[in-house]
Amino acid sequence: MPIPVLGYKQETGFEFGLGTLYSIYMDRKDPLNRSSNFSVLGSISTKKQYNISIKSDVYTVKNKYHLMSELKFRRTPFNFYGIGNNTLELNENKVLEDQFKLFLEAEKTLLPFTYTGISLGFEQYKYTDRAPGGLFSSDPNLQGKKGGPVLFVGLSQSYDTRNSNNYPTKGFFGRITYQYAPNLFSQSNYSASQIKVKASNFFPLAKQLVLGLNGIFYSIQSENTPFYLLPQLGNDEMMRGYYRGRFRDENLIAAQTELRYRFSNRFGLVAFAGAGRVFKNGDFAFNALKPNFGGGMRYFYDPEKGLSIRLDYGAGEKAPNEKRQSGFYISLAEAF
C-alpha cells in the first residue's frame, strides 16, 4: 500500500515523504510462516536530511530461508562531539554526511529455530565540515575525516523462537554477526573486524501484557578505525533519548527492558528503561553506565501482522552544566 512518510528524531527533526509498503505471507496456509516485508521510501526532513531507501525482509516457505537487502542514499547534517563516553556538549561541531549503502544477507535454517548466514555490504561516506576550526578539523587523532569506501563480508548465526518477527509476545531471539573489512581501497589504510551480538526475550504476563528484554554488544577492531565506523550510543531503538553519535568508541554495550500493553487491536502503550555506554578496549566499568527511561504509544496499521507506528519519548543522563539528554521519536515497527 502507498503510505505517507512521517517521522521525527532529534537528529533529523520532522521527516516527510512518500513510500510504498508491501507485506505478504509466502505461504498463507502455514500459520507459522513469518511475514515478508518490502518497502520503498523517499523523504526529506526539517533539518535538511535527504533519504531514499529500498528494503526487503523475506521469509520463504516453511521459513527455510531468510533473505534481507537494503539500498540507501542519504545526506544527513549531524553534530559531532568527539570520541568517548564523556564527550562535552560545548564541543558540538556541525558536519554533513553523504552516504551510499548496499547490504545483502542470506540465512538458511539448518536446525529447528536456527539460521546460519552470509552477508556482503558496501558503504561509501563523504564528510563536509560545516564549522571549520572546531573539534572535527582540529583533532589530530580523528581518523576518516574525508570519508571513504568500506566493504564488509560476514557470517552470522541466530536462534529464533519468537512467535512473530513484527510484534512478538513470547520467545527468544539471539544473533551473532562477524564481519571483516579488508584493505581493498588505496585511500584507506585499515582493515577491520566487526562483531555484533543481539539478544531479546519476551514473556507474556497477561493476555494483553508483555515484558521484553533486549541487549546488544558491538565491537570494531582496527588500528586506524574511521570515526564513522565506531559504534554509536543512542537511536530510536536502543538508549532512546540520547543523540545518536553523541558518544562513540570501539565498543558499545547496552540493555533495556520494555513493558508492552496492547489494550486494543489497534492501540498499545509501552514503558521502557535501560542502561549502556561506549568504551575503549579494556576500559569498561559498570559505574560509567548511562541510564535511559521513557514511554510511548503504538498504532497498529496492520493488526494481523503486528505492523505498527511507534511514538516514543526517552530521557537519559543530565551531565553537569548541560541539559538532560532526551528525545522524541516517530518511527515504524517496534524498537526490538
CATH of the domain at 324: 2.40.160.50
Q: How much of the chain, in percent, has pLDDT values that exceed 70? A: 99
pLDDT at 2: 72
Instruction: State the DSSP code for 190.
Output: -
Distance CA 319, CA 326 (A): 12
Query: For residue 270, what pLDDT band results from cuts at 50, 70 and 90?
Result: very high
Domain count for the chain, please give it.
Answer: 1
pLDDT at 186: 62
- The predicted model gives 271-282 an average pLDDT of 96
- The predicted model gives 196-215 an average pLDDT of 97
- The predicted model gives 154-159 an average pLDDT of 97
Q: Model confidence over 179-193: pLDDT tens digits?
A: 999 988 866 678 899
Is 126 a residue whose pLDDT tops 70? Answer: yes
- What grid cell was written down for 101? 549503502
pLDDT at 105: 97
Distance CA 56, CA 69 (A): 5
Q: What is the extent of the structural domain holding 321? A: 2-332
Strands 209-221 and 251-261: antiparallel
